[in-house]
Chains A and B, each alone.
Chain A
Amino acid sequence: MKLYNRGIILAGIVVFLILASGPFWYGRGRAVSPPDLKLDTPAIEQLKEKLCVEPAPYMRANHMRLLNDWRDSVVREGKRTYTAADGKVYKISLTGTCLECHSNKEQFCDRCHDYAGAKPACWDCHIIPEEVR
């Protein structure tokens, strides 16, 4: 069986194969190591129990929702404390609570956000503490 219009058909197939396998060419087979998150800030070093507001797996997947709820509860309801699942009470503040421990935005927040292509809108309103200094 003959292949008709062979030139254009083969060109089309080659273009399809290259586009569909694009990420393979982009990676060129080099293994990429996942981002290295630094948890060694002075504030964290001083903690007896190295625990976040909620358990780490929950925070990893849901921190954006928690922060969203925090924003709503402060800005819309004027409620400035958060009771965690384990009963501990925290002051609701991005700069005062979150960034108190995670004072290394570039080595903590940004690394993962850049890696996953997330563009949080936190810094549209909030200042980055280091920038003030």
Chain B
Amino acid sequence: MNLLTSFIAVLILTLAALGFAYSTGLTYLLTVVIPYAAFAVFMVGFVFRVVQWAKAPVPFRIPSTCGQEKSLPWIRTNPLDNPSCLWGVIGRMALEILLFRSLFRNTRVEILQKRPVYDSAKWLWFFGLLFHWSLLIIVLRHLRFFIEPIAGWINSLSALDGFFEIGIPTLYLSDAAILAGLSFLLLRRLISSRLRYISLFTDYFSLLLILGVVGTGLLMRHFFPADLLQVKNMALGWVTFSPVVPKEVGMLFYMHLCFVFTLMVFFPMSKLMHMGGVFLSPTRNLANDNRMKRHINPWNAPVKVHTYEEYEDEFREKMKLAGLPLDKE
């Protein structure tokens, strides 16, 4: 059901793109007005979500680690899995963000002969990593449309990505990899009944939307080429605040734009915000220094206390009469 709704949502977007392409006024809206609006929603929404998270206090370090804590000098510590200083935390975060280290520890449990059996499950890690790195490379490659002159490193990246020079225009390895990654991420939700049970609209919709972006992009590159001169004029127009409406760029290009803008607007209000959220994972970004530093709970209510000094001041005379020992005479 969730799959069907998200599929219908993507179809509606496709139809909307058709509408955008066939009316001059709407084409203007899609290529001049909506880009700025979508970009603004993306930026403001992203910052808003991060600020919202930052308002939640994290008073205590959560040592859910997989390594030995720093303690006595003769006990070997694991500075990357259980860091006690900033550099260790930076190392752990880098491994988490760049290599998805905690997903690498993913396990699978199955009941075999009435006993639960645990097994490592690396496929999700592998295809997840494949998908995310490809997406990053593809986004960086797209910078060639947004800057002029094109920076050397973008051309080098594209050359490296199209290293095998398969076909004309060259097939980019990241394009093939992202298709493989996306297919896995979608198929695992469709095939495994346990995952199908917990999958929501937003899970399917994000995958189908990105699949739409990738699909239209690949079709444009390899089967129904768009005029890149027009495309770059339009993209450069956006970033130099002199937008132009492209001419004769074809249906697929409008679909591509429509999907991308939807993705940008959908991004801050969806689970895709894990892009920013991964940096704020409390179990990963806090050094385990609970025994070295005192961390005071910021929401502690002020407690009214009556210290012994005050007690003695109050009852000094009576204590003296009763012959009790006093700190101060």
Q: Mark B130-161, 1 if CB is under 8 A from A, else 0.
A: 00000000000001111111100011001100
Contact B240 A4 (CB under 8 A): no
A residues contacting the other copy or chain, number (CB 8 A): 40
Q: How far is the CA of A65 from the CA of B169 in the complex (A)?
A: 8
Q: How far is the CA of A117 from the CA of B143 in the complex (A)?
A: 10
**Which chain B residues in 272-314 approach chain A with CB under 8 Å?**
276, 279, 298
Q: Which residue of A lies closest to B168 (CB)?
A: A68
B167 contacts which chain A residues (CB < 8 A)? 68
Given contacts A13-B50, A17-B43, A17-B47, A117 and B150 within 8 Å (CB-CB) = yes
CB within 8 Å for A32 and B148 given contacts A16-B276, A64-B169 = yes
Q: Does A53 contact B (CB under 8 A)?
A: no
Specify which chain A residues have a CB less than 8 angstroms from the CB of B51 in the assembled complex: 3, 9, 13
Per-position 1/0 for A27-58, Cβ under 8 A of B: 10111101100000000000000000000010
**Contacts A16-B276, A34-B229 hold; do A27 and B55 have CB atoms under 8 A apart?**
no
A61 at the interface (CB under 8 A from B): yes
A13 to B45, CA, bound (A): 12
A126 at the interface (CB under 8 A from B): no
- Report whether A4 and B168 are in contact in the complex, using a CB–CB cutoff of 8 Å: no
Report the separation of the CA atoms of residues A118 and B241 in the bound assembly, to the nearest whole angstrom: 25
Residues of B within 8 A of A4 (CB): 54-58, 298
Q: Does B233 contact A (CB under 8 A)?
A: yes
Total B residues in contact with A, Cβ cutoff 8 Å: 47
Which of B26-34, B71-79, B182-190, B220-228 touches A?
B220-228
In the complex, whether B317 has a CB less than 8 A from a CB of chain A is no
CB contacts (< 8 Å) of A35 on chain B: these are 229
Residue of B nearest to A112 (CB): B229
Are B240 and A116 in contact, CB atoms less than 8 angstroms apart? no
A133 interfacial contact with B, CB 8 Å: no
Q: Assess the B155–A117 pair: CB atoms within 8 A.
A: yes
Of A6, A29, A115, which is in contact with the most chain B CB atoms at under 10 Å from its CB?
A115
User: Does A1 touch B at the CB level, under 8 Å?
Assistant: yes
Check if A23 is an interface residue, CB within 8 A of chain B. yes
Q: Are B55 and A1 in contact (CB under 8 A)?
A: yes
Contact, CB under 8 Å: B155 / A26: no
Q: Please, which residues of chain B bring their CB within 8 A of the CB of A1?
A: 55
Q: Answer yes or no: B270 CB below 8 A from chain A CBs.
A: no
Task: Say whether A16 contacts B55, CB under 8 Å.
Answer: no
Cβ A116 vs Cβ B232 within 8 A = yes
Q: How far is the CB of A130 from chain B (nearest CB, A)?
A: 23
Q: Tell me, in angstroms, the Cα distance from A67 to B167 when the chains sit together.
A: 12
Which chain A residue shows the least CB distance to B42?
A20
Q: Which residues of chain B come closer than 8 Å to A31, judged between CB atoms?
A: 237, 240, 242
A27 touches B240 (CB 8 A): yes
In whole angstroms, how far apart are the Cα atoms of A62 and B248 in the complex? 13
Measured between beta carbons, the chain A residues less than 8 angstroms from B242 are: 31
CB-CB < 8 A to B237: which residues of A?
Answer: 31
CA distance A30 to B298 in the complex (A): 49
Residues 90-133 of A contacting B (Cβ, < 8 Å) = 112, 114-119, 121
Q: Do B43 and A64 have beta carbons less than 8 Å apart?
A: no
Closest approach, in angstroms, between the C-beta of A83 and any C-beta of chain B?
21
Chain B residues whose CB sits within 8 angstroms of the CB of A34 once the complex forms: 229, 232-233
B239: contacting residue among A5, A13, A23, CB under 8 A: A23
B248 contacts A57, C-beta separation under 8 Å: yes
* Residues of chain A with a CB closer than 8 A to B248's CB: 57, 61
Q: Across the interface, do B239 and A65 meet the contact criterion of CB distance under 8 Å?
A: no
Residue contact A26 to B229, C-beta cutoff 8 Å: no
B229-A115 in contact (CB<8A): yes
- Pick 27 A–B contacts, CB within 8 A, sort by A: A2-B57, A4-B57, A4-B298, A5-B54, A9-B54, A13-B51, A16-B46, A16-B50, A16-B276, A22-B143, A23-B143, A23-B239, A24-B239, A26-B146, A27-B146, A27-B236, A27-B240, A30-B240, A32-B240, A57-B248, A61-B227, A62-B225, A114-B149, A116-B232, A117-B154, A117-B155, A119-B159
In the A-B complex, the 3 residue pairs with the smallest Cβ-Cβ separation, listed nearest first, are A117-B144, A23-B146, A116-B228
Which A residues contact B (CB, under 8 angstroms)?
1-6, 9, 12-13, 16-17, 20-24, 26-27, 29-32, 34-35, 57, 60-62, 64-65, 67-68, 112, 114-119, 121
